[in-house]
Structure 1
Amino acid sequence: MVMDFSRLQASSKIGEQWVYPQPACLNFGWLEVDRDPAHRLYWEEYGNPAGEPVMVLHGGPGGACAPVMARFFDPKRYRVILFDQRGCGKSEPNVASAGPAVALAKNTTADLIGDIEKLRDHLAIAGPMHVFGGSWGSTLAMAYAIQHPAHCASLILRGIFLGAAEDLLYLYQGNAATWGDDPFALTAPGAYIKYPDQWAALLSVLSADERRDVMASYKAIFDMVPANAAEKERQLNAALTWSLWEGVISNMIPETADTGKFGEADFALCFAQIEAHYFANDLFLPAGHFFDHIDILASIPIHIVHGRFDEVCPLTQASRLVAALRAAGAEPVSYVVTNAGHSAMERENALALTAVMDGLGRIV
């Protein structure tokens, strides 16, 4: 008997239930933000050109933007800016086409914060703007706000990612060191508990010794300069496996038949190698950065949407941030815990984010 589970797998997605239709792209271009190498950011603009500006920060790092991200916003009210961060998407140089040695040069959190400022200037955004970011985009949004609080009318954050060592170990290390002996032993907390098949695929790329430090071992594969076709194939396979691990587990109901961009070679090479680059360097942020500057974040209206079943960025990360804000005397303006996973495209996350944007106080 052949059973059709397609309706079940689609049930957590937003599908056709968006509040707003896909708007047309009003404008797009490339902005040179650095030289040697000459990083050029690709950007797009949607909605009302005279509306309240919203700077959208995509996840990853290395995830790139997509036009569908403009659907969270009322196109009559907001001027929506999407852009691909350094090294990924349509920005140049791209990791997939130019290679990591070039695309990852001058690619740090400080560089990305500077890029947002240059894009603001290029688009003549003079006053405060709404900053909208999910996953790594929430990390970058908070880092940007700490440096430029006067430019942030509000922060709308989804799937809080604090990037502490424990957060990365939960996602990438889990029971990897002992997996070969007992793949189902619950020797440490981790996303592997709910996604054992995908976890097996992630670890199958590595030897038993390499599994002692999954992130470092993958980074070594990505840093390798392939000497032959076999090494090049191993590198691409590693990038695809890394990308698919996060892409599949981002959904409460895994998308196994249609993996979308996460299974595309060029996207995977950018996504995996940029993530490994940032994770190996502690996100280019000091330990405890957000908590050391919680007074600055507490001075900005913050809205948080987080999936209760998020395994990429478990809810504990949002809980830690909210507790710190409350200790600083600032309750989040809204804090919505949805019955969803990590992806912004899950129905409850998408509808909650749209409701937040619809309810924001207007920028004066």
Structure 2
Amino acid sequence: MRMDDLYPPIEPYDSGFLDVGDGHRVHWEQSGNPGGKPVVVLHGGPGSGIAGSTRRHFDPRAYRIVLFDQRGAGRSTPHIGDDGVDLSTNTTWHLVADMEALRTHLGIERWQLFGGSWGATLALAYAETHPERVSEIVLRGVFTARRSELDWIYRGGAARVFPEQWEDFLAPIPPELRHDPLAAYHALVFDPDRATRERAAIAWSVWEGAIVSLIPQQNFVDNYSAPAFAVTFARLALHYFTHDAWLDDGQLIRDAGKLPGIPGVIVQGRYDAVCPPNTAYELHRAWQSSTLRLINTAGHAVTDPGVLAQLRAATDSFR
């Protein structure tokens, strides 16, 4: 990772909570230039929460940078880790509505969308619903929640590349339930026993940490195995993925025609084992005003060689 591919660290100049209904309060922040070009950063997961480092993808003199914690994640309340949380009002379309509410609350007419992995899913769902509110889109490691994509990572596809890590992933699941790891893990991470659900959440999370970078790195495994991160990450991801993210299969690529004239850049690692590049390629073909930048030195991790430089080039080109 080249640190000069990131702008210097900055702190928010404004933050708060927005009541979006259903008992939810969404935490948000702004940094950079208050009079600059608005951009909203959509974090991954679902459930990862705000990462302050993502402010550094943007020239702080040129951009008004908005970050927010999606429902159930980060500092937003109620938190997915709390017992008895009602998840019926935490869906993709609730998040899309939250983004519109936040845009209105902040007095923004149009904004750039920036998201990777699950953040790319949410960016596409929002843009295809509110194209008139989008100036540009920058995506990384594209995920659209199709069943084929979920099958790849959670039903044995990536296991062909990472067999030993897959064995560890399956270990918490009783043998008779291993035909559907998504359903089995959903039951485990919502088990009444705290120790059971924490062990399962860590195993679920570590699987992604083990395969996220082009060259496996222990620091990713360590970060993904931290209980505070793993429980939120696993619970929200499984809540979304066992419901196909409330999307028709293939919907986001099918409806890319709703993005005419919206310029976009797709930054994709060619050896991404979490979100293989065929999805990014199919999206690019369907979204005629997009540019696809396939990186031959990268997997899924934003820190893999070449990714940060391409993201900075994209945001600089739109500033």
TM-score (norm 2): 0.95
The partner residue of 2:257 within 271, 295, 307 is 295
Match of 1:3 in 2: none
Shift of 1:261: 3.6
Distance between the aligned counterparts of 1:170 and 1:320, measured in 2? Answer: 16
1:194-209 equivalences in 2 (<5 Å): 194-209=161-176
Matched, 1:18 2:1: no
Matched, 1:191 2:148: no
Match of 2:127 in 1: 145
CA contact (8 A) 2:209 2:220 kept: no
1:123-134 equivalences in 2 (<5 Å): 123-125=106-108, 127-134=109-116
Shift of 1:312: 0.5
CA contact (8 A) 2:71 2:77 kept: yes
Matched, 1:68 2:25: no
Shift of 1:253: 1.6
- The structure-2 alpha-carbon separation of the partners of 1:156 and 1:105, relative to structure 1 and needing over 3 Å to count, comes to same
Distance between the aligned counterparts of 1:259 and 1:280, measured in 2? Answer: 24
SS in 2 for 1:209: helix
Matched, 1:215 2:182: yes
SS in 2 for 1:293: helix
Distance between the aligned counterparts of 2:199 and 2:91, measured in 1? Answer: 25
SS in 2 for 1:267: helix
Distance between the aligned counterparts of 1:25 and 1:61, measured in 2? Answer: 23
1:111-190 equivalences in 2 (<5 Å): 111-125=94-108, 127-174=109-156, 190=157
Shift of 1:202: 0.5
Distance between the aligned counterparts of 2:313 and 2:220, measured in 1? Answer: 28
Q: Cα RMSD over matched residues? A: 1.5
The partner residue of 2:210 within 244, 248, 254 is 248
Matched, 1:264 2:249: no
AA partner of residue 114 (structure 1) = A
- The structure-2 alpha-carbon separation of the partners of 1:147 and 1:331, relative to structure 1 and needing over 3 Å to count, comes to closer
Shift of 1:247: 2.1
Distance between the aligned counterparts of 1:115 and 1:258, measured in 2? Answer: 30
AA partner of residue 19 (structure 2) = E
Q: Deviations over 1:48-94 (max 9, x none)?
A: 11100001001111111110011100000001111110001111111
SS in 2 for 1:197: helix
1:87-102 equivalences in 2 (<5 Å): 87-96=72-81, 98-99=82-83, 101-102=84-85
Matched, 1:104 2:91: no
Distance between the aligned counterparts of 2:88 and 2:222, measured in 1? Answer: 28
Distance between the aligned counterparts of 1:46 and 1:347, measured in 2? Answer: 27
SS in 2 for 1:305: strand
Shift of 1:22: 0.8
Matched, 1:28 2:8: no
AA partner of residue 118 (structure 1) = A
Residue ranges of structure 2 left out of the alignment (5+ in a row): none
Match of 2:277 in 1: 315
SS in 2 for 1:234: helix
Shift of 1:260: 4.8
Distance between the aligned counterparts of 2:4 and 2:211, measured in 1? Answer: 22
AA partner of residue 302 (structure 2) = A
TM-score (norm 1): 0.84
Percent pairwise identity = 39
- The structure-2 alpha-carbon separation of the partners of 1:258 and 1:344, relative to structure 1 and needing over 3 Å to count, comes to closer
The partner residue of 1:352 within 292, 310, 313 is 310
Residue ranges of structure 1 left out of the alignment (5+ in a row): 1-13, 175-189, 227-231
- The structure-2 alpha-carbon separation of the partners of 1:103 and 1:264, relative to structure 1 and needing over 3 Å to count, comes to farther
Q: Would you say how many aligned residue pairs link Structure 1 and Structure 2?
A: 318
Matched, 1:82 2:74: no
Distance between the aligned counterparts of 1:114 and 1:246, measured in 2? Answer: 28
SS in 2 for 1:75: coil
CA contact (8 A) 2:12 2:30 kept: yes
Distance between the aligned counterparts of 1:79 and 1:31, measured in 2? Answer: 18
Distance between the aligned counterparts of 2:220 and 2:284, measured in 1? Answer: 35
Distance between the aligned counterparts of 1:43 and 1:103, measured in 2? Answer: 22
